[in-house]
Amino acid sequence: MQDELQEASRKTPGQRARMSEVERLRHSCAHVMATAIARLWPDAQFAAGPPVENGFYYDVDLAHRISPADFEKIEAEMRAVTKANQPFERIVVTRAEALEYARRGRLAALSDRPAPSRFKLDILEGIPDGEPISFFRNGEFIDLCAGPHVMRTGNVGAFKLTHVASAYYKNDEKNPQLQRIYGTAFKNKTEMEAWFTMLEEAKKRDHRKIGAEMGLFAFDPDYTGPGLPLWLPKGGAMIEELEKLARETEFAAGYVRVRTPHIAREKMYLTSGHLPYYAESMFPPMELIEHEDQGARALHDPDDKFDRVLKSLQYEQHSPKEVEELVGKILGASAEAKHADADRYYLKAMNCPHHHRIFAAEPRSYRDLPLRLAEHGCCYRYEQSGELFGLMRVRSLNMNDAHIYCTTEQFAAEFNAVNEMYLKYFKIFGLEKYQMRFSTSAPEGMGKKYVDEPALWKQTEDMVRDVLKNSGINFVEAANEAAFYGPKIDVQVWSAIGREFSIATNQVDFAVPKRFGLVYRDRDNTEKTPLCIHRAPLGTHERFIGFLIEHYAGNFPLWLAPEQVRVLTIGDDAALVDYARGIVNELRANMVRVETDFGADKINGKVQRAEQSRVHTMLVIGPRDMAANAVSVRVHGKGNQGARPRTQAVADILAAIKGRTN
């Protein structure tokens, strides 16, 4: 379903509770920083101090306005704390004891410095009855905190404060404004230095900067709208190549290609379950109410009870059963409406419902399975404008999507084939480091967060786990992070400079095909619901090209380069230009993207311009080349490769493009 494609880099509170090793380190460093700040400014009152992506922060209420100029002083004090190598001590107390401490600044079990924070009383009240209440102490600093922490302050090997911002307590602007001080921490100095070097390099490789330099894409918030990239010809060429790669790879793997519209009626998404759960991430509907028919209008009556309830629905406030009942009623009302035209149409936020309808369009037998429907479908998601970021978080998503419908017996082979396709792609793009994050359900979420089918959950999770284990793929398992309708795999890759990207997800779906009533006739002549695998190895064009720009620093391999070849003449002698043009025509006849620079100006300038434009291969042609029926080959970033016979040079280029090497 790929709902998670843009979500993967966002951490939910639930995920934060299960801290990784480095998150534990960074959260502990937040305490170290708080200890130092409390020493320097004893009036400091602390709110929350969680780890975040690539670091940590602490919200602090303090009369002194902390600026980067203070960082050195704070870091010096932090070094004193880590040098002291204080143990982190966990102290579990009763609610009465904790309240006593929070109110009066005294707690029998603890030395009571620093002064208790007024925020902590509020936080304390938010802890549900029955959950343990714990404090953590290091040296003189004590803090209401669920942990976990490293053993001692000395375990925080290297740290650095990075920036300061203002933030409202609990991010609510009705609350007081606090200072949010950000930092990061690592096991040791070497790791930290590598991180900052990587950041420097990532800045140089910023996909927005390189994308603009190379003319790959443009944003046009004013006319087209924010978060909706226009792909310029050079970016369009890359998209064509990626789609060609997908077409070839998927054809070889037995996929067939379909095309579906970008819109559908409300009923589609009520059936899939995207409405109401996903409504906030979808564009608002187009309302067609041309007909005066009563039945159809009832569906859109703002005073209509179902309608209002549907709009106000929140995942947390209603049980799936209640929602199901309500959706059933609305679908019933919709069925009564005589005119299909009096309806809400939605831009699709995912391709699966349309593919499900294609599955349903013809009677299916077990002989038709597995059926692998592929489409580079363009979906639209309404990301908040504050969340938009270059190609990485956008509102239009051109997705390398496919849905595989299969029997339970076919599942393992199909899922394995999908993983192998990933590995094939990783090889083509020179991705050496990857990880598959296998998200499973948890018993406590059954019938709430997860479809209430414990047996199916176990069966599919076991199957996926077996496939992963047997294939020797690098994976980690994350309990209680699955999608609503089945287990999923988030694919994380590391770019050439070691930065992690969540590029795609695979999901198993045993719930939605049932909601759409999809069946196939099995050998035993009974009707069965197929399993469905959602997969998009190349993610979206937007995110994947954004990643590739950083990964290659814009120096794309020949097959992918927007300008693959430029032919440069030494001077503009007519015979020479004719010879050069012959080579250009030969390459173009083979669909090579080749440009020319045949002017009278000096060859050094021509080469320099081509290098600056990140042209992959330069064919430099002088009188000596022409006389020998040869060309001089130069490769971007690799310099002069020497003269080669013309036929050889052309054949080499075509072979490199076909093989997607280099």
CB of 286 to its own copies, least distance (A): 5
The DSSP bridge pattern shows strands 256-257 and 371-380 to be parallel
Give the strand order in the sheet containing 286-288: 263-265, 343-347, 286-288
The DSSP bridge pattern shows strands 396-406 and 371-380 to be antiparallel
Separation CA 409–CA 369 (nearest Å) = 11
CB 58 within 8 A of CB 180: yes
Of 27, 75, 15, 47, the residue nearest 177 (C-alpha) = 47
CA distance from start to end of the chain: 34
Of 535, 511, 437, the residue nearest 479 (C-alpha) = 437
Separation CA 252–CA 273 (nearest Å) = 33
Separation CA 566–CA 633 (nearest Å) = 10
Q: Which is nearer to its own copies, 184 or 271 (CB)?
A: 271
Q: Which is nearer to its own copies, 375 or 401 (CB)?
A: 375
Q: Which is nearer to its own copies, 87 or 221 (CB)?
A: 221
Q: Which is nearer to its own copies, 334 or 495 (CB)?
A: 334
CB of 354 to its own copies, least distance (A): 7
Q: Which is nearer to its own copies, 298 or 463 (CB)?
A: 298
Q: Which is nearer to its own copies, 191 or 240 (CB)?
A: 240
The 3-class secondary structure across 489-503, one letter per residue, is EEEEEECCCCCEEEE
Query: Residue type at 489?
Result: I
Q: Which is nearer to its own copies, 211 or 486 (CB)?
A: 211
Q: Which is nearer to its own copies, 190 or 385 (CB)?
A: 385
Separation CA 389–CA 234 (nearest Å) = 21
Supply the DSSP string of 502-518, one letter for each residue: EEEEEEEESSHHHHTT-
- For 342, phi then psi, to 5°, come to -90, 85
Any idea how long the chain is? 662
Q: Report how far Cα 114 is from the mean position of its chain's Cα atoms.
A: 41
Of 499, 447, 515, 369, the residue nearest 1 (C-alpha) = 515
Separation CA 542–CA 430 (nearest Å) = 19
CB 46 within 8 A of CB 102: no
Q: Which is nearer to its own copies, 165 or 340 (CB)?
A: 340
Separation CA 332–CA 328 (nearest Å) = 6
Q: Which is nearer to its own copies, 198 or 263 (CB)?
A: 263
Separation CA 419–CA 425 (nearest Å) = 10
CB of 301 to its own copies, least distance (A): 17
- For 534, phi then psi, to 5°, come to -95, 135
CB of 356 to its own copies, least distance (A): 9
CB of 154 to its own copies, least distance (A): 49
- What residues make contact with its own copies under the rule CB under 8 A? 215, 218, 220-226, 228-233, 235-237, 239-240, 247-248, 251-252, 256-265, 267-268, 271, 283-288, 339-341, 343, 345, 347, 353-354, 357-358, 361-362, 373, 375, 378, 380, 382, 385, 396, 398, 541, 588-589, 591
Q: Which is nearer to its own copies, 469 or 588 (CB)?
A: 588
CB of 357 to its own copies, least distance (A): 5
